[in-house]
Amino acid sequence: MRLVKPYMSFPNALVDAAPAYLGHFINGEEVLDRSRTGDVFNPAVGEVRLKVGLASQSTVSDAVTAAAAAFPAWRQTPPHKRAQILFRYKQLLQDNAEKICQLITAEHGKLIDDAHGELGRGIEVVDYACGISELLKGEYSKNAGPEIDSWSEFQPLGVVAGVTPFNFPAMVPMWMFPMAIACGNTFILKPSERDPSPALLLGKLLTDAGLPDGVFNVINGDSDTVQHLIEDARVEALSFVGSTPIAESIFTRCSAKGKRVQALGGAKNHAVILPDADLENAVNALMGAAFGSCGERCMAISVVVCIGDETADKTVALLQNKISNLKIGPGVDASNDMGPLISQEALQRVTQYIDKGVAEGAELLADGRGFSLAGHESGFFIGATLFDKVHPDMSIYRDEIFGPLLCVLRVDSLGAAIKLIDEHEFGNGTCLFTRDGEAARYFTDNIQVGMVGVNVALPVPIASQSFGGWKRSLFGDLYVYGPDAVRFYTRRKTMTQRWSASSATDKARYAFPSG
């Protein structure tokens, strides 16, 4: 059954009492497509919070039709008028921040202040997109030839789509759509089916800010829904963020259809600790980077490489002490340090990796298995896990686990640490802790990783830079947000124009025109 109703059930109903069923947001209306549904859990209690629609081919097609219909007027809307809507949007995001973050915590499980952190990073992209008039300015060459002027402009692509992961249900969509619509495109978001509610509220607030219907749409769904989007020839480009196998497959499938595609994948981020590092500060930073958001961040630190046994022994002792004091509990309680994992499957997966680490011979110093919280026995909680003396051949080192599991490796030089990182499949983020400027410069200059920190454990670029990894952490050429987003969401057109001062008739010339 397919129904259309005004979106008025948002946002209060989403927060105060979850609706039994969550639909899609197409052309400014909530669309109910109940042909297939999925369960959305509250990870802190392990119970189904609501059912979400998994869009059928016809619902995907309706969304594309709405976005295509909205495109001609939107692309002609002056950039500064688009920016005015984004300015109002930014204000509405700030006014509704608590509601958005409650939804994030209810469905993702992360701490409420962590949710505010991710939303804040998303709002920074809206801020950046408000400068679109400046960003879209073209390039002009006067007198490119005799009486000839030439210029380039950056035109929007049309209907573009975004497919996003569960771990940042507000921020990662906001890496994409503010810049896409600021550039004059219309947008279809397919958020994660595991925590879809924040995206619908983000869409409703865009409508409240004055965005014309159809410019931004949300379709909920799974891999089938994404396939329908890929097969629709009217979708010009797709931005994807998720795990590496899916990113690679999306890149291949979209490329085969001639779509522009950027697909950001998984990670295994190493922190390197030199003997001269300020260890107390380094370990505090590592605790947040490894165990914040239960390790479910693509920039999470999951490997610590210590230079020398003395550095390793001291680092491990500090980590063990802090792990034993980690407060684990539901994200709604601001006094907690770490919330639950997203799902029962994630809990099983991380548990199995701890089993494997033990079987592979790593030294288990903190064991997160079997963690239970009174009153939340069915929640997807796990404790923080620390392995020392991990070897590069072990699966706990090679694989992205995406949970609160930290591996310590011991090497004898910075060169050996760099070699280790460079040989790893992923190249999303890394950081070095040191007081040695020469070492830091060598590291940032040579390391084969896309985002590098020095004494910064989570080097997530600000909105005016761009975000992306190297190697199998990114399929495509352009990063998300920042200047790269203008290039990804526009197509260059170059005009060459001649206006002769005289009325003299030109002779036919058969040589290729030059100078």
In angstroms, the CA 414 to CA 411 distance is 8
H-only helix segments in 234-308:
244-256, 279-291
Instruction: Give the neighbor-by-neighbor strand order of the sheet with 148-156.
Output: 139-145, 148-156, 490-498
In angstroms, the CA 301 to CA 408 distance is 11
Contacts of 434-440 with C-beta under 8 Å, sequence gap 24+, read 434/274, 434/276, 434/277, 435/276, 435/277, 435/278, 436/274, 436/276, 439/274, 439/414
Residue 246 binds ligand NAD, judged by CB under 6 A? yes
- In the complex, least distance from residue 433 CB atom to ligand NAD, rounded to whole angstroms: 23
Residue 402 binds ligand NAD, judged by CB under 6 A? yes
Segment contacting ligand NAD by CB under 6 A, of 238-246, 313-321, 430-438, 452-460 = 238-246
Q: Which residues are catalytic?
A: 298
| Cβ-closest position to ligand NAD | 242
Segment 168 to 187, residues that bind ligand NAD, using CB under 6 A: 168, 172
Q: Residue 21's CB: how many other CB atoms inside 10 A?
A: 12
Nearer to ligand NAD by Cβ, of 9 and 243: the residue is 243
What mask, x for binding ligand NAD by CB under 6 A, covers residues 443 to 472? --------------------------x---
Residue 220 binds ligand NAD, judged by CB under 6 A? no
Residue 241 binds ligand NAD, judged by CB under 6 A? yes
Please report, as a single letter, which amino acid is at residue 188.
Answer: I
Segment contacting ligand NAD by CB under 6 A, of 2-10, 165-173, 321-329, 506-514 = 165-173
Cβ contact 300:462 at 8 Å: no
Nearer to ligand NAD by Cβ, of 26 and 85: the residue is 26
Q: How many residues make contact with ligand NAD (CB under 6 A)?
A: 28
Nearer to ligand NAD by Cβ, of 296 and 388: the residue is 296
Contact residue for ligand NAD among 192, 293, 302, 336 (CB under 6 A): 192
Residue 166 binds ligand NAD, judged by CB under 6 A? yes
Segment contacting ligand NAD by CB under 6 A, of 7-15, 117-125, 128-136, 166-174 = 166-174
Question: Dmax of the chain from CA atoms?
Answer: 91
Residue 242 binds ligand NAD, judged by CB under 6 A? yes
Residue 353 binds ligand NAD, judged by CB under 6 A? no
Distances (CA, A) of 340 to 125, 219, 294, 372: 28, 27, 6, 11
What mask, x for binding ligand NAD by CB under 6 A, covers residues 68 to 87? --------------------
Segment contacting ligand NAD by CB under 6 A, of 68-76, 151-159, 264-272, 369-377 = 264-272
Nearer to ligand NAD by Cβ, of 224 and 355: the residue is 224
* CB neighbour list of residue 346: distance below 8 Å, 6 or more residues apart: 296, 380, 402, 403
DSSP-derived secondary structure for 464-501: TS-B--EETTEESS--BSHHHHHHHTEEEEEEEEE--S
In angstroms, the CA 326 to CA 324 distance is 6
Which residues contribute to the site for ligand NAD (CB under 6 A)?
A: 163-168, 172, 190, 192-193, 222-223, 226, 241-243, 246, 250, 264-267, 298, 400, 402, 428, 469, 473
